[in-house]
């Protein structure tokens, strides 16, 4: 489905919408942007606002998108937060089953830490999502992944892979073997650059750290690409591609142009790694949609540190 991004006769058209329903997560994952985001309100928006937002975008009512991604946390903090997440998950899943309206080609994606965490959501039902992205996978999970695809009609499995920290337990050689084995049964591997939030204070010391971090990540991505030479399943972090493209053509990333992140309080930023939202919180679904419109007026990429970190590493 192709959409003209911007305002249309039917409302607003965007490419991708990311929904982050809660700040609560029992995990402390390396590089997690959610816990670093500065809250504009202590409270999460009503579950009805998120379920109605998902319904409207899926049906193409006043807002259309090519893709919605729901972030499912690891739960476990408190019963209320768990119930809240389950309601959003089930509503999202029902939309995946009943895609209808003018926006029927929309893709519904889920991101989750592990198969174990997904099982907390799917104990009653796993829906036919277009893609599930896991942060943690291992070769021992092949049969679980096969089940997810074959019995639950999930179309694609993606592995969001970050540069591992090698130590005496895990060495580069073992890790490359593991990546190769998982690569055989997933549909894609997204090689992630471990980012820090944008829109934070950048001093010289920070810039040196950013360059070094990016250099290490690019080196590691190069090794993976070498190991799996020619694999169409490998994808490099879109932020790196966007920053490289910007250096060539001065066209930057699509955050705040056609891609938006809805935070737990209903506030919105273009960039998923923004330290602060571009808008205030929202207490209604109309408020969230108005926030998406308003976030378009601020181009988060202007504050992005990645293009500045690139020159030395590309020499
Ligand atoms: S501004 Fe764009 S390129 Fe930079 S971190 Fe955000 S999404 Fe990535």
Write the pLDDT tens digit of every residue in 228-285. 999 999 999 999 999 999 988 888 999 999 999 999 999 999 999 999 999 999 999 9
**Residues in Cβ contact with 44 at an 8 Å cutoff, skipping those fewer than 6 apart:** 21, 22, 23, 84, 264, 265
Residue with CA at minimum distance from ligand 1 atom 1: 301
- Residues 165, 216 contacting (CB under 8 angstroms): no
How far is it, in rounded angstroms, from Cα 88 to Cα 83? 9
Mean pLDDT rounded to a whole number for the chain: 90
Give the per-residue pLDDT at 87.
Answer: 95
Segment 80-98 shows an average pLDDT of: 92
- CATH code for the domain in which residue 242 is found: 3.20.20
pLDDT tens profile 5-43: 676 665 899 999 999 999 888 888 777 888 888 887 778
Give the per-residue pLDDT at 3.
Answer: 53
Which of 237, 239, 305 to mutate to test ligand 1, by most ligand atoms within 8 A of the CB atom?
Answer: 239
**Residue 312 pLDDT greater than 70, yes or no:** no
**Residue 89 pLDDT greater than 60, yes or no:** yes
Helix then strand count (H, E) for the chain reads 9, 10
Calculate how far, in angstroms, residue 255's C-alpha sits from the geometric centre of ligand 1: 7
> What residue numbers bound the domain in which 27 lies?
6-314
Ligand 1 atom with minimal separation from the 305 CA:
4
Provide the 3-class DSSP secondary structure of residue 11.
strand
Residue with CA at minimum distance from ligand 1 atom 6: 271
Give the per-residue pLDDT at 30.
Answer: 72
Within a domain: 276: yes
Give the per-residue pLDDT at 200.
Answer: 75
Residue with CA at minimum distance from ligand 1 atom 8: 239
Residue carrying structure tokens 């799917």: 122
Give the per-residue pLDDT at 54.
Answer: 96
Ligand 1 atom with minimal separation from the 303 CA:
1
| Bridge partner list, 16 | 67, 259
Which of 210, 295, 301 to mutate to test ligand 1, by most ligand atoms within 8 A of the CB atom?
Answer: 301
Ligand 1 atom with minimal separation from the 271 CA:
6
**Residue 70 pLDDT greater than 60, yes or no:** yes
pLDDT tens profile 141-154: 999 999 999 888 89
**Residues in Cβ contact with 78 at an 8 Å cutoff, skipping those fewer than 6 apart:** 24
Measured at the CA of 243, the angle between CA 18 and CA 297, to 5 degrees, comes to 55
Which of 254, 259, 304 to mutate to test ligand 1, by most ligand atoms within 8 A of the CB atom?
Answer: 304
Within a domain: 1: no
Segment 69-98 shows an average pLDDT of: 91
Give the per-residue pLDDT at 104.
Answer: 75
Q: Which residues line ligand 1 (CB under 6 A)?
A: 195, 198, 239, 242-243, 253, 255, 271, 273, 300-301, 304, 306
- 259-262 and 234-236 beta bridge pairing: unpaired
Residue with CA at minimum distance from ligand 1 atom 7: 271
How far is it, in rounded angstroms, from Cα 310 to Cα 154? 37
Give the per-residue pLDDT at 10.
Answer: 58
Residue 315's pLDDT band, with cuts at 50, 70 and 90, is: very low
Q: What is the pTM of this model?
A: 0.92
User: Tokens in use for 309?
Assistant: 């970190």
**Residue 168 pLDDT greater than 70, yes or no:** no
Calculate how far, in angstroms, residue 124's C-alpha sits from the geometric centre of ligand 1: 36
Give the per-residue pLDDT at 301.
Answer: 92
Ligand 1 atom with minimal separation from the 240 CA:
3
Within a domain: 223: yes
- Least reliable range by pLDDT among 93-107, 172-186, 235-249: 93-107
**Residue 124 pLDDT greater than 90, yes or no:** no
Calculate how far, in angstroms, residue 252's C-alpha sits from the geometric centre of ligand 1: 9
pLDDT tens profile 193-239: 999 888 777 788 988 999 999 999 999 999 999 999 999 999 999 99
Sign of the dihedral defined by the CA atoms of residues 199, 202, 206, 209, in that order? positive
Closest to 200 (Cα-Cα) out of 37, 23, 16: 37
Q: What is the number of structural domains in the chain?
A: 1
Calculate how far, in angstroms, residue 245's C-alpha sits from the geometric centre of ligand 1: 12
């Amino acid at each position: 489905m192709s959409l003209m991004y911007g305002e249309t006769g039917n409302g607003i058209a965007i490419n991708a919408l990311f929904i982050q329903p809660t700040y609560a997560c029992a995990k402390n994952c390396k590089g997690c942007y959610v816990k670093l985001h500065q809250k504009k309100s202590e409270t999460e928006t009503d579950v009805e606002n998120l379920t109605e937002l998902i319904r409207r975008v899926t049906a193409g009512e006043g807002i259309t998108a090519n893709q919605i991604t729901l972030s499912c946390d690891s739960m476990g903090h408190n019963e209320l937060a768990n119930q809240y997440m389950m309601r959003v998950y089930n509503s999202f899943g029902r939309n995946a089953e009943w895609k209808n309206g003018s926006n029927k080609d929309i893709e519904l994606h889920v991101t989750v830490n592990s198969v174990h965490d997904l099982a907390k959501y799917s104990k009653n039902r796993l829906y036919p999502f277009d893609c599930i992205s896991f942060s943690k996978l291992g070769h021992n999970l092949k049969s679980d992944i096969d089940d997810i695809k074959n019995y639950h009609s999930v179309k694609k499995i993606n592995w969001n892979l970050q540069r591992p920290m090698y130590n005496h337990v895990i060495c580069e050689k073992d890790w490359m073997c593991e990546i190769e084995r998982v690569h055989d049964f997933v549909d894609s591997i997204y090689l992630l650059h471990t980012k820090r939030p944008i829109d934070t204070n950048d001093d010289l010391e920070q810039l040196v750290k950013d360059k070094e971090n990016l250099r290490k990540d690019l080196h590691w991505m190069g090794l993976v690409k070498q190991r799996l030479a020619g694999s169409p399943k490998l994808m490099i972090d879109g932020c790196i591609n966007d920053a490289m493209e910007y250096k060539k053509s001065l066209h930057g990333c699509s955050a705040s142009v056609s891609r938006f992140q809805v935070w737990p309080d209903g506030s919105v930023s273009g960039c998923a790694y923004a330290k602060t939202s571009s808008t205030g919180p929202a207490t209604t679904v109309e408020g969230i949609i108005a926030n998406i419109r308003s976030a378009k007026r601020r181009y988060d990429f202007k504050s992005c540190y990645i293009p500045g970190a690139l020159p030395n590493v590309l020499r």
